Amino acid sequence: MAAKLGRKLLLEWGGEEIPGVREKGINRNGEPVDISSDDDAGWRKLLEEAGQNQVDVSVSGVTKTHQLAADWHAGTRTKTLEITDTQTGATISGTFYLASYNETGTYNGAVTFEASFQSSGEVAYNNYS
């Protein structure tokens, strides 16, 4: 797999680009189901299917809009989140919950933000490369 630039990932919340993003993280987690019994001679055995799948997305950057803060305060916390790799066209998309939103401003610097999103339902992955 070829190396990629992080800035080539486009994030859209409710169909609108999230401007000012500098850093983003995508955590995919499939919670295992332990099906161990005495028959397994003391070894853990996990079901091949996950008990719960989830995708968590975190972003941070320079505040250029107040849309995420407005959505959080209005209780409009569930929307479609889409992440597109603009180099390959690959996408991750689904319904996500805006779990947290933080803003920080230093005395003489730009106001920055951090936000986290948690999947709510199935998340689609389309790999076009």
| Residue 56 structure tokens | 């968590």
**Residue 129 pLDDT exceeds 70:** no
Q: How far apart are CA 122 and CA 100, in angstroms?
A: 21
Closest CA to 18 of 71, 73, 75: 71
pTM for the structure as a whole: 0.87
What are the tens digits of pLDDT across the range 4-40? 676 788 999 999 999 999 999 999 999 999 999 999 9
CATH numeric code, 7-36+43-126: 2.30.110.20
